[in-house]
Amino acid sequence: MPVDVLVGLQWGDEGKGKIVDVLAPTYDAVARFQGGPNAGHTLTFDGMKHVLRQVPSGIFHPHILNVVGNGVVLDPVVFREELQKLTDRGVDWSKNLYISKKAQLILPSHRALDRINEEARGNTKIGSTLKGIGPTYSDKIGRVGLRVGNILLPDFQERYKEAVAQHVSIAAPYNKKLEIEEFEEEFFSAIEFLRTLQLTDTEYLLNDLLSQGKRILAEGAQGSLLDIDFGTYPYVTSSSTISAGACTGLGISPRHIDKVYGITKAYCTRVGSGPFPTELEDEVGEELRKAGREFGAVTGRPRRCGWIDLPALRYAIMLNGVTELHLMKADVLDGFAEIQACTHYRTATGESTTRLPDPGELQTVTPEYQAIPGWHTDLTQVTEAAQFPQELSDYLNFLEKELQVPIRIVSVGPDRVSTILR
Ligand code: IMP
């Protein structure tokens, strides 16, 4: 079966971009199936760091087709900026980038509504990236969204005006003006640019590839605990971030899916609000943030940091059907004398559970930890698994036993080359 899916198992920022980049050469196409410019997929190679927001992470390989699927919400302004940056760095994307005509368009008014919604939530703010993600997906489900294909129609301007009029009426009860005029010029010039790209029915493109025996890697964004159904609702993003989202977000049947790569950090982070049982609000958390350079790739916000959470990981592994794990940023733990892994939770009523309770209850659980000896080794110097210190091997074996899934990749640094296969 020729489609493999790559997903984040935590709250995003696991390092998915790096792994897509590493795995891409063994595929014929890389396809993004959900999310939008709220993502920031970081790839580092040849001494350069690249952050991709909506462009699939296979774009640096000219022989690989890169597809922005129908499940994505696309901001044309951000997209143009991303592509311009790639051009400036000598990357030719003109022949191997395709965009679904069914992807939804993020309008300036969606971004404005995102801000208004967030302000209206008072002290229950989601901590959204404010890129217009929620309002755009709301319009999609409400059947009033504009799709990329609409920009090819003669009445696009009218459709745009209708959509904005509706957004104005949504904002009115909040006594807010949308204030989008200053962004409309760049929006329409980005639409002009978008018209020049390869816009197509990517479900046909991908299924044609499959009938030719080609291999596709489906690239997820955000993480399983931000999934609209199974994440820590309402502190989630507005799309299906789990592997099942690859089918609806690309138009690929589940019968084509083989491997599911689950990406997790060796510890845990979260940006934005919501429950995070293993969060460390002390100097240990600060040390993780510093060692892991845990600041958002999109917003620059400091990420909340904590120990690895095995009940949450088990849940994500179950939902996604993960067949292999990739453990990221193991080197960040190099300096710790001892690390902790949360094996189960103690609920407010004193029960012990290995299952993830409802988000409200998750706020109240106490994590119970197993201590793991640190390895005091500079992992960034390691080039193969045989050089792993015993303590790291023990940690990996412990995780595999707890999670019942093999760890096939251990990442020991941001660069493409710092990727150890097991
Ligand atoms: P939104 O998707 O921008 O509406 O944000 C909803 C929640 O998901 C917020 O807590 C964000 O911080 C979080 N989020 C969205 N995208 C990402 C991502 O790519 N990485 C990590 N967190 C994200």
Choose among 185, 179, 169, 257: nearest CA to 218.
257
For a mutational test of ligand 1's pocket, the pick from 271, 279, 303, 328, i.e. the residue with the most ligand atoms closer than 8 A to its C-beta, is: 271
Residue 81 CA to ligand 1 center (angstroms) comes to: 20
Nearest CA to ligand 1 atom 20: 12
For the chain, the average pLDDT equals 96
Q: Could you report the per-residue pLDDT of 118-130, keeping only the tens digit for each?
A: 999 999 999 999 9
Name residues contacting ligand 1 (CB within 6 A): 11-13, 38-40, 126-129, 131, 133-134, 221-222, 226, 235, 237, 271-272
Residue 144 CA to ligand 1 center (angstroms) comes to: 23
Q: What is the pTM of this model?
A: 0.96
Task: Give the mean pLDDT of 326-341.
Answer: 97
Residue 329's contacts (CB-CB under 8 Å, 6 or more residues apart) are 15, 265, 266, 267, 292, 411
Query: Is residue 50 among the annotated active site residues?
Result: no
Choose among 5, 7, 10, 24: nearest CA to 419.
24
Give the pLDDT of residue 86. Answer: 97
Give the pLDDT of residue 176. Answer: 80
Q: How confident is the model at residue 301 (pLDDT cuts 50, 70, 90)?
A: confident
Judged against a pLDDT cut of 80, whether residue 297 lies above it is answered with: no
DSSP character for 121? T
Give the pLDDT of residue 177. Answer: 83
Residue 13's contacts (CB-CB under 8 Å, 6 or more residues apart) are 40, 223, 265, 269, 271, 294, 296, 297, 303
Residue 405 CA to ligand 1 center (angstroms) comes to: 27
Task: Give the mean pLDDT of 207-216.
Answer: 98
* Cβ atoms 405, 262 nearer than 8 A: yes
Residue 398 CA to ligand 1 center (angstroms) comes to: 30
Ligand 1 closest atom vs CA 226: 8
**Which residue would you say has higher pLDDT here, 32 or 301?**
32
* Cβ atoms 134, 37 nearer than 8 A: no
Give the pLDDT of residue 319. Answer: 98
Judged against a pLDDT cut of 90, whether residue 365 lies above it is answered with: yes
3 state SS of 199: strand
Query: Is residue 326 among the annotated active site residues?
Result: no
Task: Give the mean pLDDT of 185-189.
Answer: 97
Give the pLDDT of residue 377. Answer: 95
Residue 118's contacts (CB-CB under 8 Å, 6 or more residues apart) are 125, 126, 128, 130
Choose among 165, 104, 168: nearest CA to 137.
104
Catalytic pick among 4, 21, 41, 50: 41
CA–CA distance from 34 to each of 138, 157, 206, 312 (Å)? 14, 26, 16, 22
Percent of the chain's residues with pLDDT above 90: 96
Task: Give the mean pLDDT of 266-282.
Answer: 97
What is the rounded distance in angstroms from the CA atom of residue 13 to the CA atom of residue 6?
13
The distance of Cα 120 from the centroid of its chain, to the nearest Å, equals: 26
Q: How confident is the model at residue 409 (pLDDT cuts 50, 70, 90)?
A: very high
